[in-house]
Amino acid sequence: MPRRYRVATTAVFQRDLRRVRKRAPRVHHALRRALALLETDPYNLERRANIRKLVNMPAGEGQFRMRLGGHRLRYDVVEDEVVLHSIRPRSRSYR
């Protein structure tokens, strides 16, 4: 049986999610599929998503990013938990 990860969110992610729901409904739909993938393969070992580990990014600040169209989902993996930090347009994601 594949390992299951628990998905947790931060307050910043919740705020970003409210904005995405209003401004980019397609991204919100893609996010649902992405969350299902993160529950089973957050390290992207099966190469089913556009996920990269960011270089020189300390733990707790979103070491991984997933591409969702023009938006970027930043997250960390801590033991058996995936912590979602933010979902923002590409132009604001890396600031």
Q: Is residue 54 in some structural domain?
A: yes
Give residue 73's identity as a one-letter amino acid code.
Answer: L
- Phi first, then psi, for residue 26 (nearest 5°) are -65, -40
Whether 64 and 78 have beta carbons less than 8 Å apart is answered as no
Q: Is residue 20 in some structural domain?
A: yes
Q: Is residue 17 in some structural domain?
A: yes
Question: Which residue shows structure tokens 């997933």?
Answer: 66
- pLDDT tens profile 50-95: 999 999 888 888 899 999 989 999 999 999 999 999 999 988 877 6
For residue 28, the enclosing domain spans 6-93
- pLDDT tens profile 2-37: 789 999 999 999 999 999 989 888 888 889 899 999
* Residues in Cβ contact with 87 at an 8 Å cutoff, skipping those fewer than 6 apart: 13, 16, 17, 20, 27, 31, 68, 71, 72, 73, 74
CATH number for the domain spanning 52: value is: 3.30.2310.20
What's the domain count of the chain? 1
Q: Is residue 1 in some structural domain?
A: no
